[in-house]
Amino acid sequence: MKIIVGLGNPEGKYTNTYHNVGFSVVDFFAKQNGLKFSSTKCKAQICKGEDFILAKPNTYMNLSGDSVYELKKYFKVPFENILIVLDDIDMPKGKIRFRQAGSAGTHNGLRDIVNKVGVTPRLRVGIGRDERMDLKDYVLSNIDQASKVVLNQSYANACDLIEKFIAGELCQDTTI
C-alpha cells in the first residue's frame, strides 16, 4: 500500500493558489483514475485506488504533519511508502523533482511532516517566485492563466511519476 499526500490549505479561498499545487496534482491524478475524494479519515480527505490511497490533509499547510502522522499510523505504512506532493518556490515554474529523502528546504508544511513523521519521499512541483512579492503573499496568490497552462503540463508529468512510485519503479531521484 502506498499513500500519496498532496499538500495545500483546506479552505475554498485557497483552491486556485500556488500553495495548493499539491492538492491540484492529487486531484488531477484522482480524475485520471476515475476516483473521487468521498471520505474523511485521519484529518484528511481520502480516496482509495487498488493499491494506493490519495490524501489531502484538512489541516492547514503548516500543520500537515498531524494528518500524515495519523495516515501512517492508521494504515500502518512505512515512511518509504508515503509520497508527499508539494509546491516549491525555489524551482522554476513547471519543473518537477522526485527525491527519496532530503531536507524540507523553505517549505513549512514539509518541515512539519519531517518533524512529526520523519523523512519521506517527496515530489516537488516548481511554482517559481515573484521577487516583487512577499513570499507568503505569492504562495497564497491566485494562479494566473499563463501559469495554469505550464502547471497543468507539470501535473500530467507528476502523475506519470506517481504511477511509477505506486508500481515501485521510482527508486532514484528524478527531475523533469
Residues classed as catalytic: 19
- DSSP line for 42-101: TTEEEEE-SSEEEEEESS-GGGHHHHHHHHHHHHT--GGGEEEEEEETTS-TT-EEEESS
| 3-class secondary structure, 151 | helix
CA angle 85, 89, 90 (to 5 degrees): 105
| Assigned C-alpha cell, 36 | 473521487
CB 52 within 8 A of CB 44: no
Length in residues, the chain: 176
CA angle 6, 10, 16 (to 5 degrees): 80
